[in-house]
Structure 1
Amino acid sequence: MTRVLTEDMGMIVGLIAKFNSEDLHLRLTALDQATFSQVTKRDTISTAVPERQFLKELGRLCDKDTNGMLMFGTSANLTGQGQQFRVEDIETSVRESVDLIVDYGLQRWHTYGRGDVNFDVENMEVMRMGAGYEIFWDRMLRWFPHLLYEAGVELDDDAEYGVLQC
């Protein structure tokens, strides 16, 4: 499902899944407690699976370096300040705290004015109706209805962007 949505269909989606707190990945054990608590919630972590080849390759290179760091990002905003869509709109303190900024300019999802869809893969539940939700909704119903059915889940309508229930 993840590969089909992100690679074959060119979507970005945040996937929420459980991690093993008894046997953490080495990169997670290297995080200080403050960072760890910001990127996890109870026993879950969300990973934005990138749609663009550059970010996929950057992730692959980070994985290849066993001493390397985890790559965090995407939102680039201060809590409560909203999503930023241009590098020049990101608060100076945020820009100065990162190691790398990739400036693609505006992307197709900026028109929504919100982050990406966050989807809990274990419970087949949308945790955040984000940018492109109507596309996610259509693709899940078209290509993966059996997964939703097995989980006893129905995807909700997005009142803001008017996904039509069919």
Structure 2
Amino acid sequence: MILKQMLDYAKFLLTQAIAAGDSVVDATCGNGNDTLFLANLVGAEGKVYAFDIQDVAITETTRLLAEHNIDCVQVIKDGHEVAHKYMESSIAAAIFNLGYLPKGDHSITTQSHTTITAVDHLLDYLKPNGIIVLVVYHGHSNGKLEKRALRSFCQTLDQKSFSVLEYKFLNQKNNAPFIIAIEKL
């Protein structure tokens, strides 16, 4: 398939913005797969800040990183809305997988107000040509609210400073995940 599926396209976008030695953010580390992917992109000289509020996510991410002998990651049990408080320098990219942890408690979901706060703060730390990738899962009631709020927020971003892309398949079910990508110009 020439057109990339959502997670493949998200990774493609990240590879375009991240170089070895960069600092990056996994705003919702979940099971650690994106954290591991980011760690491999930035290498031993880089830094990954991985956030989640759930103990199971912190445990799973830490376990996965240990299995792969990765030590360039700071796993942080805190909300992504305060990620900027941990930043020591500019970042090349950030990724958010919104919704709920697939094998976790589905009543715990990302919230539009904390996600927008996180994105707004991280935009200040984003390097020129850096990117924030939001994979939006909106097949649940809170996801629908978050989708609308994020789209509204992103439409207000100054086009002279940011390019905002929405990537989705038009012929898939109504609740199919999609990507919002914000590139700093």
Same fold by TM-score greater than 0.5: no
- TM-score, structure 1 as length reference: 0.30
